[in-house]
Amino acid sequence: SDSYDLCLTDMRLADGEGLELVRHIAGLGADLPVAVITAHGSAENAVAALKAGAFDYVSKPVGLEQLRALVKSALSLPDSAAAPAKGQRLLGESAPLAQVRELIGKLARTQAPVYISGESGSGKELAARLIHEN
């Protein structure tokens, strides 16, 4: 069986959109990090790619050191089975909390800046700490 450690895709492909590929891989439930590398970068595309399941989004031209860092980051990602242990300080089993845990895991794998807002006591500091620890 073929297995892969990383998927690199462009936003614009000859036979479709890279975003479709990101969604497809995420929909399979595959434990495969997907990085989008594109010359057609925009904030909207980056947000769409990260929401679709990409672990990182990089604009071309990509330098060799940046590519090495991207690959190293992808290969050092924890398995999904080990990921929940890091977020155990978020207590509860509700569907919204599961979505928060999943989002924290996705954000932790990116190099994108993250802005967290909310009311006092809502857990912003805990979320930030979990993003950095994962």
H or E, element range at 16: strand 16-17
**How confident is the model at residue 1, as a pLDDT?**
57
- Domain residue ranges in the chain: 1-77, 78-134
First to last CA, the chain: 29
**How confident is the model at residue 126, as a pLDDT?**
86
Just give the CATH number of 1-77: 3.40.50.2300
Cα–Cα distance measured from residue 53 to residue 64, given in angstroms and rounded to the nearest whole number: 24
What's the pTM value of the predicted model, to 2 decimals? 0.59
Average pLDDT over residues 4-30: 90
User: Cα 110 from chain centroid?
Assistant: 5
pLDDT at 40 over 90: no
